[in-house]
């Protein structure tokens, strides 16, 4: 495509995945966020909790002066603690909700325009009860967000039987869920991720077309799913070109074309499309980020 990417999307980076030592809100948070802020390839950044108040204030000032769109990913708040917002144990569900509400407060503090989370594990025998618990929790989350400001809320679609084993999940349940939440909350939508689609055992079309009216945020990444004994198997987000990986330039081209076809990529209100990539083993995060940028550049040139 001859027209610039920025006309149709705000290219972002999931900071805490690219720099995984920061995922729990500690480590070189300031230094690594500054690297992203100084890279004008990116118009958006996705951050997560920052435990130290002084560091959080420094990041807040940096982001406020960066002219970037900020989104807050609360996925680590659940994944690193084992909390589940569709927990059938009410005490556990409330703990997860309290954690996410703390994340919402932090997201507003940091100037985020969007807040994302994921559904939790479930048992097939009690899937309907888990669905009801998820809807109940999501309605509470959306109401809490709206009571504080104008952030959008997104649930990220994950695998249901490979790694994270989240309730949402396959396109059919994602559609049912999104329809239910949108009845009351217009600021809610779904986050889709190219790296999760093979893990859900769906094609890009099977995964995106049914929920096209509810997609508000997208990720681009890779995964290994051919065999459990292969390096980086599961939801690990390895670099593009990783051995036995599912996604590279051709797959990114296909994904972008479908996102154009459904009107998600547009020049009226360009959405966030972020790399969700992670160094594997002793790989250098900055090299992996450069890999992702080259991959997207080549894919865009082929559109």
How much is the pLDDT for 35? 98
Q: Is the dihedral of CA 208, 212, 214, 216 positive or negative?
A: positive
Is residue 18 within 8 Å of 48, Cβ to Cβ?
no
What per-residue confidence (pLDDT) applies to 1? 85
- In the chain, which residues have pLDDT < 50? none
Alpha-carbon distance 176 to 214, whole Å?
Answer: 11
Identify the helix (H) or strand (E) that includes residue 191.
strand 188-193
pLDDT of residue 7: 97
What homologous superfamily does CATH list for 5-302? Divalent-metal-dependent TIM barrel enzymes (3.20.20.150)
d(CA 291, CA 7): 22
**Is the pTM for the entire model greater than 0.75?**
yes
Which value, in Å, is the radius of gyration of the alpha carbons in the chain? Answer: 18
pLDDT of residue 145: 98
Q: Are 261 and 268 in contact (CB under 8 A)?
A: no
């Amino acid at each position: 495509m001859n027209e610039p990417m920025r006309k149709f999307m705000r290219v972002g980076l999931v900071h805490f995945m690219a720099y995984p030592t920061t995922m729990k809100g500690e480590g070189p948070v300031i230094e690594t966020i500054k690297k992203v802020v100084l890279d004008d390839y990116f118009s958006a950044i996705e951050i997560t909790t920052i435990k130290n108040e002084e560091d959080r204030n420094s990041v807040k000032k940096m982001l406020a002066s960066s002219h970037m769109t900020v989104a807050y990913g609360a996925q680590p708040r659940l994944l690193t603690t084992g909390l589940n917002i569709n927990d059938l144990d009410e005490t556990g569900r409330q703990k997860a909700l309290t954690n996410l509400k703390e994340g919402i407060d932090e997201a507003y503090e940091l100037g985020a325009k969007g807040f994302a989370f994921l559904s939790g594990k479930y048992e097939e025998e009690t899937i309907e009860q888990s669905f009801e618990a998820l809807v109940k929790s999501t309605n509470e989350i959306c109401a809490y967000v709206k009571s504080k400001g104008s952030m959008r809320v997104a649930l990220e679609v994950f695998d249901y039987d490979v790694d994270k084993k989240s309730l949402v999940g396959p396109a059919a349940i994602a559609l049912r869920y999104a329809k239910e939440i949108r009845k009351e909350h217009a600021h809610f939508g779904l986050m889709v991720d190219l790296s999760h689609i093979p893990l859900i055992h769906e094609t890009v079309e099977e995964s995106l077309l049914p929920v096209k009216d509810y997609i508000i945020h997208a990720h681009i990444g890779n995964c290994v799913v051919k065999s459990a004994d292969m390096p980086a198997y599961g939801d690990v987000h390895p670099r593009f070109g990783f051995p036995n990986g599912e996604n590279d330039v051709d797959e990114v081209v296909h994904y972008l074309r479908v996102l154009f076809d459904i009107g998600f990529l547009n020049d009226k209100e360009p959405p966030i499309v972020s790399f969700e990539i992670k160094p594997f083993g002793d790989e250098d995060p900055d090299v992996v980020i450069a890999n992702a940028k080259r991959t997207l550049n080549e894919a865009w040139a082929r559109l």
